[in-house]
Amino acid sequence: MRGHTLTNAEKAVAAGQPLTYEQMLAVVGYAWTGETGENQCFALTQDAEYIYAGLATIPAKVMKIAKATMATSDTWTGAVGEDGCYGLCQDTDYVYAGVFTSPAKVMKIAKATMTTTATWTGAGGEELCQCLDQDTDYVYAGLNTVPAKVMKIAKVFMATTVGTWTGAVGENSCYALCQDTDYVYAGLYIIPAKVIKIAKVTMTTSAAWTDAAGENDCRSLTQDAEYIYAGLFTSPAKVIKIDNRRHFPRFYR
């Protein structure tokens, strides 16, 4: 019955028609709500059947939520000291959870069992994992440090840091990451905001884009084949479209 009501609600929205009371209840009810202690969702990722929600709890939690029902299917809970899941990404078999601890940690969690199979732990000064991204072989962890750091971690071992990008003076607090075949892009939560283009092979800066006055605090990033899109934590909010097609040592709008 609920599915039928939701289908009708979707048709009504598409046609520009107002929703009935029953349709509004169905739409509002189609949500996952945490139990007691399951608070503060800071990160999300998803695959074909599930949503994974990272919670900034003590200890951290990652909720496996069935898309079909929006109900909890399973839960990963961090060990003592594994607090505050601020970053998530996933591949076919694993979810990777970055925790906001000193030193930083990234947990490799098996989707089938929602248990930890391996852990990367940062060295001295490698703390406060704020964001994650991944490709076929590596996980990239953005750290909220001064200066900012992006860690390249081999998935197969997890204990191994393959490379590290460290920001120059003033390039602090990596809050956002995205990546393509050859580069990782790091969004910095500074004034003005900055986006760094990092070569994956060398983990060195290839280019940098700096915001104009008043365009501060990059909090989120995404990209396509030609552009980087930077979300700023400003009032009012801003999304900046950055031209990534040119081969000069900075981005162009």
Mean of all residue pLDDT scores within the chain: 92
To the nearest whole percent, how much of the chain has pLDDT over 90? 82
117-164 pLDDT, tens digit per residue, is 999 999 999 999 999 999 999 999 999 999 999 999 999 999 889 999
Domain coordinates in residue numbering, the chain: 1-30
Question: Average of pLDDT values for 228-234?
Answer: 96
Residue 9: the pLDDT is: 62
Backbone φ and ψ for 28, nearest 5 degrees, come out as -65, -40
Using alpha carbons, list the distances in angstroms from residue 147 to 120, 127, 137, 174. 20, 11, 26, 9
Residues 217, 223, 229, 234: what is their CA dihedral angle, to the nearest 10 degrees?
-30
Residue 249: is its pLDDT beyond 50?
no
Q: What is the pTM of this model?
A: 0.88
167-223 pLDDT, tens digit per residue, is 999 999 999 999 999 999 999 999 999 999 999 999 999 999 998 899 999 999 999
- The tokens for 104 are 């930083």
- CA–CA–CA angle 101, 102, 107 (5° rounding): 50
